[in-house]
Amino acid sequence: MFKFKSLIIPFAIYIILIAIGLSQPGLWQPIMYIMFYIGIGVALNNFMGLTGYVDFGYVAFLAMGAYGMGVALGYFTYLGIWAIPLGFVLALIFAALLCTAVGGVALRLRGAYFAIATIGVNEGLRYLIEGAKIWGGSEGIILSGKLRKTFGPEFANYLSTFVADAALIIIIFIASVITVYMINSRVGYALLAVREDEDAAKVMGINVTKYKLIAFFTSATIGAMIGASAWTLKLTYVFPEDVFFIHYTVEAIVIVMLGGAGTLLGPVVGGLIYGALKYYLSVILPGFQLLVFAPLLLVIVVAFPEGVVGFVKKKLQERGIIEYIT
Amino acid sequence: MLKVSKLESGYGEMQVLWGVDLEVKEKSITTVLGPNGAGKSTTLKAIFGIISPWNGMVEYFGEDVTKTPPHKKVEMGITMVPEGRHLFPNMTVEDNLLMGAYLSRAEEKFEDSLELVYTLFPRLKEREEQKAGTLSGGEQQMLAIGRALMTSPNLILMDEPSQGLAPKLVKEVFETIYKLKEEGLTILLVEQNVFSSLDISDYAYVLHEGKIAFGGSVDEIKESEDIKKAYLGV
């Protein structure tokens, strides 16, 4: 029943990207930069794309993940290598807690009200951590010294390069499988009804709150795993003003819309285009990238209102290849 | 089958229903009439649970379902055809019906329900592959009713099914509702179209400023000039 065929294209894209990164020495960092954007796109799409709700506080889940890993490595360093799995577990727990708090309250709101409420949660949480001096407050958690002392410089370096990147890649592969599963299962049909018309979903007997929470939870936990690996593990520090930076939420929303909300391939294509453009524009026109970027995005979004993948799907509707695009 | 007592509800701070009492008997058509703003749609929404009742009680076969959420009510055999139809315009007629049978209880009876829908509405069968948004108003209303039937309900709450339809189609919709009753279904109807709805109904209630002003058999309403003049403007 599951359309695993549709995983072929995204997986091929991931593998090609990784192969390019590995074979061209200078390209590994740009590739991981793009992979990060693909990751947050795929993660947010599991909620925004499938339910039609826009979450402007999404980055708070990445922040929870970053703090989960940060707390584990910073305060439980004596556990040695076990601090890393603990970090991922804490990332999940923190994200799940936030998800329950936000989901239980804000998911009762619709449309713009939900979006505004989620911004409030993100900013509120950041000022709570800074003001109440939780986990180092505004000074954040700095790990590089501790990691070096505990694991030795070589292994610490290995952690923030190989382990962090490998974790991100694995998370992205798993996230895509989850998306396919969600789209093609009963959950997916229920969410489709919710996205199209929430009142209609109710009269069909769909527990709309439950399915919205499932999507919210899935998306939040994947986001947290990305925060834990691509931020804390890789950068070896956690600063509240970085991890709660609303800019990342906006970028994730742009990626989802650019590629095609609610499709599997959409955020992959969106992340690829966005990440690559952003990286090379900042190299070619340092400081001016946003000036070029904004109108460019505007044109793309106007030209492809359903996203690049939505547009391609429409064009290919009658062809056999459509089976491979979800 | 359905008993509503002293139901109070509203939106935010604004109370709309001030104690609605009504009863729906099995295999009958019961209509709630009343002018705009009397609280007809609010009554249905509060019964179904789309808005929560503030006070009072809703009983279904003697069971208290006042606080039961809509999706559980659908499982118990209550469904609603919402005002304005709420179809999925970009999906085909068939897919709309398929979505209607989402619950596993409904899925088991999928074949039977689909046959019933296509017997009642042969035109939907002809337009199976067409997108719901491209149907005419009357056909869309048929599809909305059809989708509700796919949940294999006992009781259907209908919110102004004749709204926005041409007179000829209005007649057709009411004939269909009557056929549903003949199929053994129970219907609670909210309508502004006094004559057509009284023609097919067994019982009627007149809602006035959030309270039931009158309730009884259709014949009683038809005979009482006072009620017709005071509340129905006919």
Cβ neighbour number for residue A308 with a 10 Å cutoff? 20
Q: Would the ipTM clear 0.90, i.e. be above it?
A: no
- Closest C-alpha among A56, A68, A127, A124 to residue A95: A68
**β-strands B29-33, B203-208: how paired?**
parallel
Q: B66: domain CATH number? A: 3.40.50.300
| Number of domains composing chain B | 1
User: A288: which DSSP letter?
Assistant: T
Please report the pLDDT score of residue A285 as a whole number: 84
Residues 6+ apart with CB under 8 A from B31: B189, B190, B191, B197, B198, B201, B203, B204, B205
CA dist., res. A61 & res. A57, Å (int):
8
C-beta atoms of B106 and A202 within 8 A: no
Residues in chain B predicted with pLDDT less than 70, given as ranges, are 234
- Asked whether residue B227 is domain-assigned, the answer is yes
C-beta atoms of B86 and A193 within 8 A: no
- Asked whether residue B92 is domain-assigned, the answer is no
Tokens 């229903």 found at: B17
**Coil, strand or helix at A115:** helix
Q: CA nearest A198 in B: which residue?
A: B86
Cβ neighbour number for residue A314 with a 10 Å cutoff? 11
Between the CA of residue A125 and those of A55, A61, A231, what are the distances in Å? 15, 11, 18
- Asked whether residue B3 is domain-assigned, the answer is yes
| Bridge partners (DSSP) listed for residue B55 | B8
| Bridge partners (DSSP) listed for residue A51 | none
* CATH number for the domain running over A4-324: 1.10.3470
CA dist., res. A153 & res. A169, Å (int):
24
**Inter-chain contacts counted by CB atoms under 8 A, chains A and B:** 59
CA dist., res. A147 & res. A159, Å (int):
9
pLDDT in tens, A290-309: 787 788 778 877 888 888 89
B100 contact residues in A (CB cutoff 8 A)? 204
Per-domain boundaries in chain A: 4-324
Residue A203 distance to chain B (closest CA, Å)? 6
Q: What is the mean pLDDT of each run of 10 residues along chain A (326 residues)?
A: 79 96 92 97 96 93 97 92 95 96 86 88 93 91 90 91 95 96 91 91 92 95 97 95 92 92 94 92 83 80 86 81 76
Between the CA of residue B31 and those of A208, B120, B214, what are the distances in Å? 29, 21, 12
- Asked whether residue B142 is domain-assigned, the answer is no
> Domain range spanning residue B219?
1-72+186-234
CA dist., res. A212 & res. A129, Å (int):
28
Please report the pLDDT score of residue A1 as a whole number: 45
Long-range pairs, A288-296, Cβ under 8 A, ≥24: none
Residue A314 distance to chain B (closest CA, Å)? 13
**Coil, strand or helix at B186:** strand
- Asked whether residue B34 is domain-assigned, the answer is yes
A197 contact residues in B (CB cutoff 8 A)? 86-88
Between the CA of residue A32 and those of A14, A22, A88, what are the distances in Å? 11, 11, 20
Please report the pLDDT score of residue A2 as a whole number: 52
Angle subtended at Cα A89 by Cα A87 and Cα A95, rounded to the nearest 5 degrees: 100
B88 contact residues in A (CB cutoff 8 A)? 193, 196-197, 200
C-beta atoms of B75 and A202 within 8 A: no
pLDDT in tens, B5-26: 999 999 989 999 999 999 999 9
